Amino acid sequence: MAKALWDTAGWLWSDHYPGVDRRDQPADTKAFDDDLFKRCPDLQLFRDLADAAKHGGQLSNPKVVVTGISGSGSPGGTSFISNPMGRMGERAFGPFGNMLELTQECTLRIDHAGGSRDMKEALATAFKFLQAETSVAPP
């Protein structure tokens, strides 16, 4: 998800600077990124995660503010498992026993130099920001 969000920021660059490679304009790239990060700090976290994913999980770039990921990951949603025994040890009815419904919660956090950020909140914020940015015509 981090890569998809950061790739979308790359499309914003292309909209504002058609035909210009980011690597060829380091000062403009820095100013553009700094403006995005000022308006949506979560985007910088996802830039760091996308960069780390590209480099085998390494967070060694000097511009990186992310220090790691903590918590447990889950895509959320509901899963079902079968329990052949009832709650009191009795045989459950049906071929699969009792079906237990589990709702797993994602507790992932993005740890960074200034603290920690809830992954779900950061994803929602960055997505909404980029959605608004891509619906605006470039200058």
Q: In the chain, where are the structural domains located?
A: 2-60+125-134
- The per-residue pLDDT for 36 is 95
Q: Nearest to residue 42, comparing CAs of 136, 129, 105, 106?
A: 129
- The per-residue pLDDT for 39 is 97
Q: Measured between alpha carbons, how far is 125 from 131 in angstroms, rounded to an integer?
A: 10
Tens of pLDDT along the chain (139 residues) come to 889 999 999 899 999 999 999 999 999 999 999 999 999 999 999 999 998 887 666 666 677 788 888 887 765 566 666 666 555 555 555 555 566 666 677 788 899 988 999 998 999 999 999 999 988 665 6
pTM above 0.75, yes or no: no
- The per-residue pLDDT for 135 is 83
- The per-residue pLDDT for 19 is 92
Crossing angle, helix 119-134 and helix 2-16, to 10 degrees? 20
- The per-residue pLDDT for 13 is 92
Contacts of 73 (CB under 8 A, 6+ apart): 106, 108
Residue with tokens 């993005």: 110
Token digits of residue 5: 């969000």
- The per-residue pLDDT for 129 is 95
- The per-residue pLDDT for 40 is 96
- The per-residue pLDDT for 131 is 92
- The per-residue pLDDT for 45 is 93
Token digits of residue 75: 């895509």
CA distances in angstroms from 112 to 49, 66, 131, listed in the order given: 11, 4, 24
State which amino acid sits at residue 21. Answer: D
Token digits of residue 92: 């459950």
